[in-house]
Amino acid sequence: MADDPHALFDAWLAAARASEPNDPEAMALATVDDSGRPSTRMVLLKGHDGRGFVFYTNSQSRKGEELARNSHGALLFHWKSLRRQVRIEGVVAPVSEAEADAYFATRSRDSQLGAWASDQSRPLANRALFEARFEATKADHEGRDVPRPPHWWGYRLIADRIEFWMDRPHRLNERRLFTVQRDGSWAEGLLYP
């Protein structure tokens, strides 16, 4: 048994990076709307430490708006090549402006421009409209750095529950559950498959 689920996650992520053919950092993010209706989509893990799991998105997107109204979220990593998954639940909070700026600066120029050109999750009449908007944004920023848009943010899921699932023969799977205690420490237990 491990005392720190974040250290165990780091070990599992390292193994996934060595074996997964595509996007070992891909994770499903679940949010809910005002009526409790869930919505799940894939996002990319862009940072992880003892404070939580970081991803970036448009705060005006469906997920951004849902998180603004209900900060609870859930993540799921599924590494098929390893026959493992990690389920994470907790509260989602924005990262600092400095963190968001620093990460935005590492993105490709076209990705930076796309963050300005896209009204993420809003209806789009046709693809040509978006492509024209992208080209106009590109021309507008010609010869200068692309700043982070005010609506483009990073979010950190601060975990209070992390489950590590491993496939075993005959569906006798192994499930290890870590939960945060009142004093901030982690307790670990097992779940029936």
Q: What is the mean pLDDT of the chain?
A: 95
Kindly list the distances between the CA atom of residue 159 and the CA atoms of 74, 97, 100, 163, 190, in Å, as whole numbers in the listed order: 9, 21, 20, 11, 18
Could you read off the pLDDT of 26-58 as tens digits, one per residue?
Answer: 999 999 999 999 999 999 999 999 999 999 999
State the total domains in the chain.
1
- In one letter, which amino acid is 141? H
Could you read off the pLDDT of 55-65 as tens digits, one per residue?
Answer: 999 999 999 99
**CB-count exposure of residue 146 (10 Å: 0-12, 13-18, 19+):** buried
Half-sphere exposure of 139 (CA within 13 A, CB side): 6
For residue 3, what pLDDT is reported? Answer: 77
User: Catalytic site residue 171?
Assistant: yes
Kindly list the distances between the CA atom of residue 64 and the CA atoms of 14, 27, 45, 76, 158, in Å, as whole numbers in the listed order: 29, 16, 16, 18, 16
d(CA 192, CA 175): 7
Long-range CB contacts for residues 17-21, cutoff 8 Å, separation at least 24:
19/79, 19/81, 19/82, 20/79, 20/80, 20/81, 20/82, 21/81
d(CA 159, CA 179): 9
- The predicted model gives 98-110 an average pLDDT of 97
d(CA 171, CA 166): 10
Task: Kindly write down the DSSP assignment for every residue of 98-125, as one continuous string.
Answer: HHHHHHHHHS-HHHHHHHHH--TTS--S
User: Which residue is catalytic, options 171, 175, 176, 182?
Assistant: 171
Q: Which domain holds residue 121?
A: 5-191
Domain of 10, CATH number, reads 2.30.110.10
Residue 120 pLDDT > 90, yes or no?
A: no
Residue 121 pLDDT > 90, yes or no?
A: no
For residue 122, what pLDDT is reported? Answer: 87
Could you read off the pLDDT of 138-192 as tens digits, one per residue?
Answer: 999 999 999 999 999 999 999 999 999 999 999 999 999 999 999 999 999 999 9
